[in-house]
Amino acid sequence: MLNGTGEQNLENVTAPLDDAERWVIATYAMWSEYYSEGDWQYIAGSPVKEESASDMQLMLSRDWEINNREDLLDTLMFLTALYEDEENLDLEDIETGGWDLCRACQILGMAFVAGIIGREEMMGISLMVCSLMQCYYPSWMHLYSSYLKGYKEWRLGDEDEEDEGYDEALEDVEAREEICRRLLIMPNGPCSVPWNLELPIEFDEEDEE
């Protein structure tokens, strides 16, 4: 698309359209803030979709082995599988499971920016994941706390304080904790969207039977 001067006009399609989209974006705002250094309010921290598409494609392929829609759906099933089987879900799982649920919404946003899925599908699946968050966590603070516990468990892993990479890993954890603390109390920040917002989830008729 060209503007009146003949220059390319990159349409901004990553700004949230309503509170439901703001709710989804808030679930991984801590990652967007880390990735973009300030653009958490956009889908996948990307103010301009066209400029970020190649970066998202690279990160999804390199870090997640996601190269197409099928890869994406398989990864989403893996990240949410624990919550689909309530009988095997215990308190310890919930205490760290926000890490996986938030990342599920994150990669959906990344996949939209990368051009793997459209906005409607991204939002439809994201809202289903968000309904799990509302079911198992009572507030943004609890979700972010669970995310941080999961992130810390993943980032530090089995590293000992004497290990070469321990100090760097600990710095990463502390940086992510600081981001979460800041976003939780930020005026008009991601967590200013009401936690109990009624999400416009559409269920298939088969699911309702």
pLDDT classification of 10: cutoffs 50, 70, 90: very low
pLDDT classification of 12: cutoffs 50, 70, 90: low
> Cα(41)–Cα(32) distance, rounded to whole angstroms?
8
The rounded percent of the chain whose pLDDT value lies above 90 is 77
**Average of pLDDT values for 47-61?**
95
The model's pTM is: 0.89
State residue 159's pLDDT score: 66
Give the HSE-up count for residue 192: Cα atoms under 13 Å, Cβ half-sphere: 9
> Cα(143)–Cα(99) distance, rounded to whole angstroms?
9
Unique residue bearing structure tokens 């304080």? 161
> Cα(130)–Cα(203) distance, rounded to whole angstroms?
14
The rounded percent of the chain whose pLDDT value lies above 70 is 88
> Cα(70)–Cα(7) distance, rounded to whole angstroms?
36
Q: Evaluate if residue 177 carries a pLDDT over 90.
A: yes
**Average of pLDDT values for 31-52?**
94
Mean pLDDT of all residues in the chain? 89
More confident residue, 166 or 6: 166
Contact 78, 134 (CB under 8 A): no
- Which of these ranges, 3-12, 67-76, 164-173, has the smallest mean pLDDT? 3-12
Contact 19, 197 (CB under 8 A): yes
What are the tens digits of pLDDT across the range 122-145? Answer: 999 999 999 999 999 999 999 999
